Structure 1
């Protein structure tokens, strides 16, 4: 997994206003949090939820957790400034699930740009009547390189389907006509040929008699 690294101190704004990044929540079985990792994961010592005091194991060693910052699609309707950033505190059984997801992905650890998904899958065995049953999680991880390859380029327009290619172009299949229309070098010529075709006329291969050939596309 990642190399232990202590997190940076909170910003002055977070300290003053009590703000900061919202924590990922898993209120019910089936709840999931998924997003791209935006900051290098860091290791920090756990704190008691009620008192805020640092937590230690019985042998005096600090209880650690991995803090992962994700860009998610979640939004809090009550917070107009919510940009979907969530902090995932990886510890206990969740740590095992995330470690297994990293191994399954063939990665060495979590990295910026990777995509991590964690799901509250089921309840574990209740061992203490004073506490709720522990949550069991499942996780999936996609390394940064693979995530980048599987993300569509927002500047790439999808190709026109053959059904939308318009009137038939002499000597070209519907797929070839669609490709010609998508090429700026041939789109105007294709349009001229289509407009010159009388309705219902059979397609004839362009050649010297029909005024020339379409350039390659």
Structure 2
């Protein structure tokens, strides 16, 4: 049975098809850390709050209606007590939850909630009661990811990653070995040959005899050994 707090005027599609809207997201009192998150499935709407006991519409002391934002998100929650539960949940955004979500939207660089964006709301603790007999207000933190950011980070389900091709490292080039240099043969030192005298000097018997004597001495002298260096 729908409680007065859960009441929301049905959308055109829900009215046509007979649907009553998604169940309300629950944040049990004292169960800190409870989180409701999912992608926004339809455009958020604004409606007037209702008294939880009487179901009457609520107004501020100045006569203005007390409004709230209704956001439907696709969660992974499934309640066996709900027939054909598809996981959609409605968030009734007001009070401190409204401030937390507004901060999250600003941090994401967005101007508001949009279909396809992801909203996460976490119940962190209880605040201070505003008066005697009043329940302490629940405190929340929120995070929002824009629809554009979701589209960029969602892989194409039909895309298949190409297998990586293995490339063998190039084989090292064979080393070239040069033959060791062959030392040049040591120079051989031969006795200096007697200076040949000009033909006109050999015609002189004295010069011819001197040259013959020098050649004889050169022939008798053993060859010189090469120097030790």
TM class, shorter-length: 0.5 to 0.7
Superposed CA deviations along residues 44-72 of structure 1, whole A, max 9, x for unmatched, are 10111111110000000000001111111
Shift of 1:159: 6.1
Match of 2:123 among 117, 120, 123: 120
In the TM superposition, what are the counterparts of 1:89-168 in structure 2 within 5 Å? 89-157=92-160
Alpha-carbon distance change, 151 to 51 in structure 1, aligned in 2, over 3 angstroms: same
Which structure has the larger Rg over C-alpha atoms?
2
CA contact (8 A) 2:125 2:140 kept: yes
CA contact (8 A) 1:102 1:109 kept: yes
Alpha-carbon distance change, 77 to 156 in structure 1, aligned in 2, over 3 angstroms: farther
RMSD of Structure 2 on Structure 1 (CA): 2.3
Is the aligned partner of 1:56 residue 2:54? no
Is the aligned partner of 1:176 residue 2:177? no
CA contact (8 A) 2:37 2:121 kept: yes
User: If the length of structure 1 is used for normalisation, what is the TM-score?
Assistant: 0.66
SS in 1 for 2:165: helix
Superposed CA deviations along residues 152-198 of structure 1, whole A, max 9, x for unmatched, are 322234566xxxxxxxxxxxxxx423xx9xxxxxxxxxxxxxxxxxx
User: If the length of structure 2 is used for normalisation, what is the TM-score?
Assistant: 0.63
SS in 2 for 1:156: coil
Q: 1: CA distance between counterparts of 2:101 and 2:169?
A: 62
Shift of 1:106: 0.5
Match of 1:11 among 15, 22, 36: 15
Alpha-carbon distance change, 77 to 159 in structure 1, aligned in 2, over 3 angstroms: farther
Q: Runs of 4+ in structure 1 displaced over 6 angstroms?
A: none
Name structure 1 gaps, 5 residues minimum: 1-5, 161-174, 181-202, 206-217
Q: 1: CA distance between counterparts of 2:169 and 2:21?
A: 68
Is the aligned partner of 1:74 residue 2:77? yes
2:24 paired residue number: 23
Alpha-carbon distance change, 88 to 29 in structure 1, aligned in 2, over 3 angstroms: same
Q: 2: CA distance between counterparts of 1:204 and 1:8?
A: 64
Q: 2: CA distance between counterparts of 1:93 and 1:66?
A: 12
CA contact (8 A) 1:7 1:43 kept: no
1:45 paired residue number: 48
